[in-house]
């Protein structure tokens, strides 16, 4: 039986009992409806993601004072292995279901059972790898931590349910699931840490999150598997997910080779400092790009037949995304000397220069994190794989060169790699929709320039006024002055940026803004 996709009539219910909104029908009116749906979906996605990240951030502050840097380094080491293995069993099935224009019940059944059986094999593989991982890093605790770190994936039996929610743009339910799981997972981690479990507490949360996600999703989404694995469905899904899997594997290898090599050659403590700094840098990147990616992937996939509309939507979202992320990254680099001890305590002072360099390395990733939307929405996963392979090779080369100067050398090498490669990689991604990359680069000049001004002033305030850089009061002053400068620069030289941000706001909030910004 064919499951209606997201191009069905308004109010129609599919086999999962999920309302399917109309998207991308021809005509001016449907465009307005689609825009309203995307904005509302982005709002719910942002609410869920922001809430979950806020809980994780607050829990991380507490954990940084309960656990030692070596505990975080130990988990970072093992997640290099478990995360890579997850990719082999996940296979991009959820993305393949979302991308398909027409999805049959057999496709959902196939994805579900591949995911479920893969989880069982996954745990077996990790149990077998545990002794080898422990021997590789020289820590016997990893014999048990390795398989336990994979429980979250094995217990997450909701790949088809999640795809149904995404296809039907039901991000209100997605937000509810994400927030509920975040509360339970972080509570479990904190309880474990306070109970003296040490590094084992850090694998408890993901396991609780996977199990809770399955239970809650099955409660909210009425879809249930009716059959088993279908060979035609495997071929249909693999035509998309094959390239997706290849890209995920090489991209993961590039993104985590720093953890692997630093943990092996420099030790768990050095990796603990590096990993905490990298995780904090990724927070704004993941917070914004993942929120928008959930919505933009199905939305851009629905616009495949309208190239001009697709280009315009992508440019607007990129402009808003960079205008939000860039000042946060530059600001964290500028005030890292006061931010790190405030968040984590004086035992983490060695992470300050790492955070500064990594935040600057994160700026070009504002664009690279969106490239997957284009490749996936246009079904160009094979191209995505080939580009990702080149990028990964360059990343590994940079890391190997940087290791000679320790963890900070790795951070500097990654900064150089990201800035040099990004124009090339972004040009290739934009070509999939006929968009010239330089148009996007010109779009983001105002927020980039405003961020540079803001960061320079915030960094220079302690030197100019001869005040302590780690004082909380002066940290808040630097943040406030920087934020004011950034908004002021955009108001003077980047009115279009503010206009685009306003245009994506919900209508109620929009009516409260001054008229000059609504007309921007």
Residue 159 has pLDDT above 60, yes or no: yes
Distances from the Cα of 412 to the Cαs of 41, 285, 409, in angstroms?
37, 19, 5
Query: Which string of b and e fits 47-68 if b means at least 16 CB within 10 Å?
Result: bbbbbbbebbeebbeebbeebe
420 vs 237, higher pLDDT: 420
- Mean pLDDT to the nearest integer, 153-171: 80
Looking at residue 51, its pLDDT comes to: 78
Looking at residue 3, its pLDDT comes to: 29
pLDDT tens digits, residue range 210-256?
888 888 888 888 888 888 888 888 887 777 666 667 777 777 777 77
203 vs 495, higher pLDDT: 203
Residue 92 has pLDDT above 90, yes or no: no
Nearest-angstrom CA–CA distance, 236 and 86: 21
Task: Give the number of other CB atoms < 10 A from CB of residue 340.
Answer: 26
Q: What secondary structure does DSSP assign to 388-417, as a single string?
A: HHHHHHHHHHHHHHHGGGHHHHHHHHHHHH
Looking at residue 10, its pLDDT comes to: 28
268 vs 208, higher pLDDT: 208
Given pLDDT bands bounded at 50, 70 and 90, which one contains residue 163? confident
Q: For residue 12, what are the β-bridge partners?
A: 20
Nearest-angstrom CA–CA distance, 340 and 330: 15
Residue 320 has pLDDT above 80, yes or no: yes
Which residues lie closer than 8 Å to 77 by C-beta, 6 or more apart? Answer: 133, 137, 142, 259, 260, 263, 268, 271
Looking at residue 87, its pLDDT comes to: 62
291 vs 162, higher pLDDT: 162
Looking at residue 266, its pLDDT comes to: 85
pLDDT tens digits, residue range 470-505?
788 888 999 999 999 998 888 888 777 777 766 655
Half-sphere exposure (Cβ direction) of 70: Cα atoms closer than 13 Å: 8
Residue 326 has pLDDT above 80, yes or no: yes
Looking at residue 28, its pLDDT comes to: 32
Residue showing tokens 């003077």: 492
Task: Calculate what percentage of the chain has a pLDDT beyond 90.
Answer: 14
Nearest-angstrom CA–CA distance, 488 and 478: 15
Residue 509 has pLDDT above 60, yes or no: no
Residue 515 has pLDDT above 60, yes or no: no
- Mean pLDDT to the nearest integer, 26-33: 33
DSSP letter assigned to residue 101: S
- Residue 320 CB burial class (10 angstroms; 0-12, 13-18, ≥19): buried
Question: Are the C-beta atoms of 399 and 348 separated by less than 8 Å?
Answer: no
**Residue 20 belongs to what H/E stretch?**
strand 19-20
Tokens read off for 475: 């940290």
Looking at residue 504, its pLDDT comes to: 59
Looking at residue 333, its pLDDT comes to: 93
If phi > 0 it is left, if psi is from -120 to 50 it is alpha, else beta; for residue 49 that is alpha
Task: Calculate what percentage of the chain has a pLDDT beyond 70.
Answer: 81
Closest CA to 347 of 75, 55, 60, 67: 67
**Residue 103 belongs to what H/E stretch?**
strand 103-104
Looking at residue 137, its pLDDT comes to: 78
Query: Which string of b and e fits 205-219 if b means at least 16 CB within 10 Å?
Result: bbbbbbbbbbbbbee
Q: Distance between alpha carbon 360 and the CA centroid of its chain, in Å?
A: 18
Question: Are the C-beta atoms of 98 and 246 separated by less than 8 Å?
Answer: no
Looking at residue 453, its pLDDT comes to: 92
Residue showing tokens 């296809």: 167
């Amino acid at each position: 039986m064919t499951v209606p996709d997201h191009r069905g009539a308004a109010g129609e219910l599919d086999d999962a009992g999920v309302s399917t909104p109309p998207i991308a029908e021809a005509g001016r009116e449907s465009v307005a409806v689609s825009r309203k749906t995307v904005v509302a979906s982005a709002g719910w996605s942002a609410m869920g993601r922001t809430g979950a990240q806020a809980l994780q951030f607050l829990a991380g502050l507490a954990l940084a004072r309960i656990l030692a840097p070596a505990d975080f380094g130990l988990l970072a080491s093992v997640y290099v292995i478990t995360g890579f293995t997850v990719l082999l069993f996940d296979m991009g099935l959820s993305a393949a279901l979302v991308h398909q224009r027409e999805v049959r019940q057999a496709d959902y059944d196939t994805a579900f059972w591949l995911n479920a059986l893969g989880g069982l094999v996954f745990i077996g593989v990790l149990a077998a790898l545990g002794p080898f991982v422990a021997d590789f890093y020289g820590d016997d605790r990893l014999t048990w931590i390795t398989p336990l770190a994979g429980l979250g994936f094995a217990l997450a039996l909701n790949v088809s349910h999640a795809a149904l929610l995404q296809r039907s743009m039901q991000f209100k339910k997605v937000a509810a699931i994400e927030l509920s799981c975040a509360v339970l997972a972080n509570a479990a981690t904190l309880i474990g840490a306070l109970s003296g479990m040490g590094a084992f507490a850090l694998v408890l949360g993901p396991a609780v999150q996977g199990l809770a996600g399955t239970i809650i999703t099955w409660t909210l989404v009425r879809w249930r598997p009716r059959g088993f694995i279908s060979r035609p469905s495997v071929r249909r899904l693999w035509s998309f997910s094959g390239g997706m899997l290849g890209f995920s594997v090489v991209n993961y290898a590039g993104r985590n080779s720093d953890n692997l090599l630093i943990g092996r050659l420099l030790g768990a403590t050095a990796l603990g400092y590096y990993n905490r700094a990298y995780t904090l840098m990724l927070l704004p990147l993941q917070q914004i790009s993942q929120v928008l990616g959930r919505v933009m992937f199905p939305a851009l996939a629905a616009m495949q037949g309208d190239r001009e509309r697709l280009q315009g939507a992508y440019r607007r979202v990129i402009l808003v995304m960079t205008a939000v992320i860039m000042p946060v990254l530059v600001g964290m680099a500028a005030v890292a000397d006061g931010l790190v001890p405030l968040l984590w305590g004086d035992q983490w002072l060695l992470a300050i220069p790492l955070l500064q360099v990594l935040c600057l390395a994160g700026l070009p990733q504002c664009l690279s994190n969106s490239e997957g939307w284009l490749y996936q929405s246009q079904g160009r996963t094979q191209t995505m794989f080939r580009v990702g392979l080149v990028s990964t090779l360059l990343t590994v080369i940079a890391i190997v060169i940087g290791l000679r100067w320790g963890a900070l050398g790795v951070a500097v090498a990654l900064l150089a790699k990201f800035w040099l490669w990004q124009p090339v990689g972004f040009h290739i991604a934009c070509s999939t929709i006929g968009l010239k990359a330089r148009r996007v680069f010109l779009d983001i000049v105002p927020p980039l320039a405003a961020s540079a001004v803001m960061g320079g002033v915030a960094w220079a305030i302690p030197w100019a006024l001869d005040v302590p850089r780690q004082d909380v009061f002066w940290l808040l002053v630097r943040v406030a002055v920087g934020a004011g400068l950034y908004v002021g620069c955009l108001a003077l030289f980047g009115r279009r940026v503010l206009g685009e941000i306003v245009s994506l706001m919900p209508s109620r909030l929009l009516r409260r803004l001054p008229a000059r910004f609504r007309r921007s």
